[in-house]
Structure 1
């Protein structure tokens, strides 16, 4: 087997650095092994799935031995492996669908192991359904609920570690798979050619329609930050909004992975159509005003997003309600300071949602 890393493996390792793998809940040993095995020529999806298999075996052994905490921990780590296994494919191939279906089944299984109540959410939209996972704090009503989602590739259970931190603060989390994401795209065929704010308002409806969930916050990561800001501007029921590493005026960035993912989200290989749809979704601070507290976080070493790309979100906020937090050496969405980032934002939401009540 060649010791020279293929261009394909290098591209996947750049898109999914160890910092990102850890951020989304992968075990450190698995993250190191995934990079090492793919550097040696093993296909990314197969290596990641094999690591998931080992964690599933751990979970089963622990459950049979009467160790539910260990079983839950291994199940969580297996899900993280599957999350990154399916990211080997930008297009909606049968293999990607198969891996994501397995991830969803594993999440259903986690719901039976977790000490946190976990509920699958399916919300009608445009003749199909938006998919999500509602994670409640253990044994008490929520002080509020944060709708959390990603962008072009990090979806749903990628934010399980964030949900756990929010639960520790008495907050629920709705892990939303919006248009162009996760099962909502792969199985329900909902793409980003729809009214994005209207789609995310369905998740807001789910939160505010349940008194036990408290007030709604919204937290969008990467491209998802654009939709979080747009939804906050369109829906006064949102009590707090966080934008993490987003483009207010998205465009086709000069990276093959970004372009392929953007096309898959729209369900079209026509790049002119992708570019036009980005223009349609653009955030305009003169039109889109955000009335709730807004937190924008930025990484100074982000290769995709400049601080100026996020300035329109801050411009749209009321002067006393907009906050900017910068990690000068931060990678995209602050992968490399994930623990500090997560607790900072979770504390921020806990403070604002309590005040909103």
Structure 2
């Protein structure tokens, strides 16, 4: 099988900066990217890197290598599910050994289950959401930045994402903002009343519409999302979008009856309903998916305290300035949740 074109697409979507931002070490990222140029299957390369790390007892590195291995297939094939479950087991083993290990949240929702990792404690909490392919286990460095400022951090897989989709059986049309509100109920019942929501990539849209629909959320950040979903032009992104709805081909997604109504329900239109809480947008000057200006509607009509951060050379989701992004965004949340 010729893996050249497939691997080229993977390298564009899974850049070195993204790998480092998610926590993969520079040497392992470089090894994987170099080996992927040699016409070998992407998932096999990163699964082997994960296996080597696992043998060394480096479960955090194994988890992130498996994270990138399972991303090779956008749809939930049996092969992908095996890779994904192994990565989840590696992640669980890694975080269990942290000085302050997180709690596992398994939240009933519509007769199924929403999954999340709960780090820290306290009245202030930030709910962190991913997008079409970067899910909860990808944001351990964000959790460290949030808890480092004395706030609680919940890494959540919403409907159509990660464990909530693959294990819990929930998809995007099952109601994303409703799942977030159910998680807010849980957070309030477990000691947090000042809650913000931070979405990365397409998760930025999910964060903003959740804050729009649930006024208990006191601050919201979008890190690289358009204000409306659409079927992307690039095949890999289109496949990832289709998979959010539990379908196994782009063609099926194009005719899925609930697709367009769900897109409409997820659209953010400030003319109809502006953001009721302070909002923050993170913009990258080199972001091809959400270039500067695209996220402006999130702030139209938003209250005082809203802001925009721009990194002139920033990649999508500001992967290439992860530490700076995390510091500035967590500082903004800490200020807003103290008001």
Normalising by structure 1, report the TM-score: 0.89
Could you list the structure 1 runs, at least 4 aligned residues long, displaced by more than 4 angstroms after superposition: none
Instruction: Name the residue aligned to 1:250.
Output: 229
Query: Aligned partners of 1:91 and 1:214: how far apart in 2?
Result: 37
SS in 1 for 2:173: coil
1:226-279 Cα deviation digits (max 9, x unpaired): 110011111121121111111102212211111101111012323143445323
Instruction: Name the residue aligned to 1:284.
Output: 269
Query: Aligned partners of 1:195 and 1:6: how far apart in 2?
Result: 38
Instruction: Name the residue aligned to 1:67.
Output: none
**Contact conserved, 1:232 with 1:238, CA < 8 A, in 2?**
yes
Instruction: Name the residue aligned to 1:62.
Output: none
1:77-124 Cα deviation digits (max 9, x unpaired): 221111111101100011111111112212221232111231111111
Query: Aligned partners of 1:9 and 1:270: how far apart in 2?
Result: 24
Task: After TM superposition, list the pairs within 5 Å mapping 1:221-232 onto structure 2.
Answer: 221-232=200-211
Q: Give yes or no for the alignment of 1:167 onto 2:165.
A: no
Q: Which 5+ residue runs of structure 1 have no aligned equivalent?
A: 60-73
Q: Give yes or no for the alignment of 1:241 onto 2:220.
A: yes
Query: Aligned partners of 2:163 and 2:255: how far apart in 1?
Result: 26
- Larger displacement relative to structure 2 (80-89 or 274-283): 274-283
Query: Aligned partners of 1:121 and 1:316: how far apart in 2?
Result: 35
Instruction: Name the residue aligned to 2:253.
Output: 270
Structure 1's 280 and 290: CA in aligned 2 closer, same or farther, altered over 3 A? Answer: closer
SS in 1 for 2:133: coil
Instruction: Name the residue aligned to 2:69.
Output: 85
How far off is 1:40 after superposition? 0.9
Aligned length: 333
Structure 1's 20 and 111: CA in aligned 2 closer, same or farther, altered over 3 A? Answer: closer
Instruction: Name the residue aligned to 1:65.
Output: none
Query: Aligned partners of 1:90 and 1:316: how far apart in 2?
Result: 36
Structure 1's 249 and 316: CA in aligned 2 closer, same or farther, altered over 3 A? Answer: farther
**Contact conserved, 1:298 with 1:325, CA < 8 A, in 2?**
yes
**Contact conserved, 2:125 with 2:153, CA < 8 A, in 1?**
yes
Q: Give yes or no for the alignment of 1:348 onto 2:327.
A: no
Instruction: Name the residue aligned to 1:324.
Output: 308
1:283-327 Cα deviation digits (max 9, x unpaired): 111233322221111111111113332111011412x22201111
Root mean square deviation of aligned Cα: 1.7
Structure 1's 14 and 275: CA in aligned 2 closer, same or farther, altered over 3 A? Answer: farther
Structure 1's 254 and 134: CA in aligned 2 closer, same or farther, altered over 3 A? Answer: same
Instruction: Name the residue aligned to 2:195.
Output: 216
**Contact conserved, 1:23 with 1:338, CA < 8 A, in 2?**
yes
Instruction: Name the residue aligned to 2:41.
Output: 43
Query: Aligned partners of 2:253 and 2:171: how far apart in 1?
Result: 14
**Contact conserved, 2:64 with 2:138, CA < 8 A, in 1?**
yes
1:23-77 Cα deviation digits (max 9, x unpaired): 1000000000010111112211111111111221222xxxxxxxxxxxxxx3222
Structure 1's 323 and 58: CA in aligned 2 closer, same or farther, altered over 3 A? Answer: same
Question: In the alignment, which of 81, 105, 112 is matched to residue 121 of structure 1?
Answer: 105
Q: Which 5+ residue runs of structure 2 have no aligned equivalent?
A: none
Question: In the alignment, which of 181, 187, 190 is matched to residue 161 of structure 2?
Answer: 181
Q: Give yes or no for the alignment of 1:130 onto 2:114.
A: yes
**Contact conserved, 2:245 with 2:253, CA < 8 A, in 1?**
no
SS in 1 for 2:105: strand
